[in-house]
């Protein structure tokens, strides 16, 4: 069975977390999606690229989540979430998935 690339998991966590929070009107559920996907991606980052890279990518994941909020005030919620998810996915692919 093929593994899902960590870039896909990370982007799905950011987009899915926002979507779940918005559609259910329960921020906690969105946070749970964000956390589960982030943990799964971090596990793959550590296995594929090592602890330092996993730490850096995890920090980028959290920074993307936090940064999407002020960015949303300038460009809108969905463009903000999709933009930061794309940035994290690109970083994840470049650091961890490209070699796999």
Model confidence pTM above 0.75: yes
Mean pLDDT on 12-27 = 98
Position 96 scores a pLDDT of 96
* Long-range CB contact pairs, 29-38, < 8 A, 24+: 34/65, 37/9, 37/10, 37/12, 37/13, 38/10, 38/13, 38/62
Q: What is the pLDDT of residues 84-98, one digit of tens each?
A: 999 999 999 999 999
């Amino acid at each position: 069975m093929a593994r899902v690339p960590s870039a896909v998991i990370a982007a799905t966590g950011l987009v899915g977390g926002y979507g779940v929070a918005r559609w259910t009107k329960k921020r906690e559920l969105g946070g749970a999606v964000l956390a589960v996907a982030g943990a799964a991606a971090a596990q793959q980052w550590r296995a594929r690229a090592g602890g330092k890279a996993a730490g850096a990518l995890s920090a980028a994941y959290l920074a993307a989540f936090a940064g999407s909020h002020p960015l949303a005030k300038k460009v809108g919620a969905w463009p903000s979430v999709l933009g930061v998810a794309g940035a994290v996915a690109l970083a994840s692919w470049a650091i961890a998935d490209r070699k796999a």
